[in-house]
Chains A and B, each alone.
Chain A
């Protein structure tokens, strides 16, 4: 791969990580959705650059799929859900923000250490992109753990999948077509089901606060 595309992909990776941190520290749910859409956009740009520099046709398709699903359809569904549920309040975190960000920082270091031996092997990627992909997954995971509101957990879940897609696109030039289509379909259906759930949760508990969902325990 020529050096210019590599530089561009590195920039995209850095942007992805930055957006993950922004999402982690963001309190408003609607802004989180915007950040998610931005992440999708950066992701599709990075896939496009890979496709363009390696002349792989199926990557163009994958880029289009990402653009359609993660920048247009899913954020649209999320925004409509939030409006209809009237759920755009600030979400409080379980820990205070500085400590969450500090944990996030440690997670990034951990991800890099974990990915180190594999990055060394890779011929297709610059060192670090796999580490960043893993870090994006872990930061999304952290976001799911520290938020009490259902919508934030959904956004975290989707952001996690972004990290994975970036890992697939940067390390192996994307997964086989059939798999990528299947994954996209699963994510879309999952999102729709989660949307249905949010309505059920609010209907039952008259709130989207997940602390109501802790009654099933062994006692």
Chain B
């Protein structure tokens, strides 16, 4: 029941807004639908609190400690982004960057995207997980090119072709997985792709088939996570689309793609009795974070800067999942949570600043603090949080990852520390100039539209100081499951 509500709210919203999304009240409807989804997610979370892991609708959907908090996080960020986009998109329409028809497209596809994210998280069927992730790409590709600028079209084309090829490889991996599983579970019906069934028999799956399958799955879903060298679509897509789209791409899509990789890793690691899956993830993660940190220095566009920062953080999380063990997995799950909250809030403030300045080029955005103190401070605090300054939550997760690396893989420690230092140097001074620099423009009227930004940053701060016991328990259970 609650599962049906969770999935049908955004789907119905997508259909409704697909027809009426250009009306005057459409942004409010968008917020209401997102709020309803969020309420359903909270309900589902409460349900899981009392019942433990649950299967729904004839085993086709399930919630366990690994995906329950991701569902809540996805619905929450979806809701705050809808709130932000209400004001943001109105201004874009006033500036005549988009017309009514495209606003309709935007609202319809936004809800469709949230639907595919929730479907990918809650489905128990690895085939449907693939379908949902492909659907997420199809929903966002037209959002990236929403402004129909040459850059936007180029970014969307790159996004489509690169992620399309990637996700096709992931389908091949899924076919191989099904092939291995159908020997044990039979190919009748749909049981052989149900994750809960696969997890029970993972020790008996054929290791050779699964190792090949994992390579395809990691490369395929890894393209979506933005792992180097498959990351080329990511900065373009984040920079060219509207700010709310950048926020959900970074805050939700990357997380869900990483979730898919980790779900597959659980099966493969169980079947292989060797560290191949973990080592592959560690290698990709390490390469991703170091390269992304150095690429940060070359960025001139504020949204590209934060997009590369997302690549870096996804690399860190992938590396931590690759290391495995209770502490590293706990840290990686926490990292996914705080990165999603912080990065989406950063895209809100950066998008707001770029909208006022009329450009995304960092050298031309100056004096944010003078223009509007609340936006200036929000950008500064968000930047400090994402750079892993204490006492924010990102510090906690990165600290845990570093000490695990010191203990288990000492060779990786210098790379991790180098990444943090290089990223700090690249991001901090640029944002400092944007926030504290001088500007000839007069002060803008104060608005209250950034309430959600401070709410999200407060959550990140809270997670740095105190993790609620239920959440910590979920993290611990999921960390154990991931192994």
Contacts and interface: CB of A to CB of B under 8 A. Distances in A.
Interface in B151-170: 151, 153-158, 160-161, 164-165, 168-169
Contact of A218 (B135, B157, B178, B298): B298
B187 interface: yes
Given A164-B172, A178-B125, A182-B131, A153 B161 contact: yes
A82 interface: no
A171 B212 CA distance: 15
A141 B187 CA distance: 29
Nearest to B149: A204
Interface string A193-209: 11011001101110000
Contact of B168 (A118, A121, A137, A177): A137
Interface stretch (B137-145, B252-260, B277-285, B475-483): B137-145
A186 B134 contact: yes
A193 B168 CA distance: 17
A172 interface: yes
B299 A218 contact: yes
Contacts of A197: 145, 153, 156-157, 160
A182 B128 contact: yes
A106 interface: no
A189 interface: yes
Contact of B187 (A117, A173, A194, A215): A173
B348 interface: no
B127 interface: yes
Contact of B131 (A177, A183, A215): A183
B175 to A, nearest CB: 5
Centre residue among B153, B171, B182 by max chain A CB count within 10 A: B171
Interface in B60-79: none
Interface in B359-410: none
B190 A172 contact: no
Contacts of A134: 172
B150 A204 contact: yes
B469 interface: no
A209 to B, nearest CB: 12
Nearest to A167: B175
Contacts of B175: 164, 167-168, 171-172, 175
Main secondary structure of the interface of A (DSSP, over half): helix
Contact of A179 (B125, B164, B298): B125
Given A172-B182, A186-B138, A215 B150 contact: yes
B36 interface: no
Contacts of A219: 298
B130 interface: yes
A204 B148 contact: yes
A197 B161 CA distance: 12
Interface string B210-235: 00100000000000000000000000
Contacts of A196: 142
Given A160-B165, A167-B172, A118 B156 contact: no
B340 to A, nearest CB: 25
B164 A190 contact: yes
B142 A193 contact: yes
B151 A179 contact: no
Interface in A67-123: 114, 117-118, 121-122
B172 A176 contact: no
Contacts of A150: 157
A117 B128 contact: no
B453 interface: no
B176 interface: yes
A21 interface: no
B236 interface: yes
A172 B171 contact: no
A179 B266 CA distance: 21
A2 interface: no
A4 interface: no
Given A137-B168, A176-B127, A176-B189, A118 B209 contact: yes
B208 interface: yes
Given A164-B168, A178-B128, A118 B161 contact: no
B233 to A, nearest CB: 10
B193 interface: yes
Interface in B172-209: 172, 174-176, 178-179, 182, 187, 189-190, 192-193, 206, 208-209
Contacts of B298: 218-219
Nearest to B190: A176
B161 A157 contact: yes
A173 B174 CA distance: 14
Contacts of A153: 161
Contacts of B193: 175-176, 179
A200 B174 CA distance: 33
Contacts of A161: 168, 171
Centre residue among A182, A210, A219 by max chain B CB count within 10 A: A182
Contacts of A214: 154
B172 A137 contact: yes
A216 interface: yes
B48 to A, nearest CB: 24
Centre residue among B125, B148, B176 by max chain A CB count within 10 A: B176
Contacts of B157: 150, 197, 201, 210, 213
B295 interface: yes
Contacts of B142: 193, 196
B151 A215 contact: yes
A37 interface: no
Contacts of A121: 206, 208-209
Nearest to A54: B187
7 contacts: A167-B175, A172-B182, A175-B193, A177-B190, A179-B125, A179-B127, A196-B142
Given A172-B179, A183-B127, A216-B151, 11 more contacts: A114-B212, A118-B176, A121-B206, A122-B179, A153-B161, A172-B178, A186-B134, A204-B148, A204-B150, A215-B154, A218-B295
Interface of B: 125, 127-128, 130-131, 134-135, 138, 141-142, 145, 148-151, 153-158, 160-161, 164-165, 168-169, 171-172, 174-176, 178-179, 182, 187, 189-190, 192-193, 206, 208-209, 212, 236, 239-240, 295, 298-299, 304
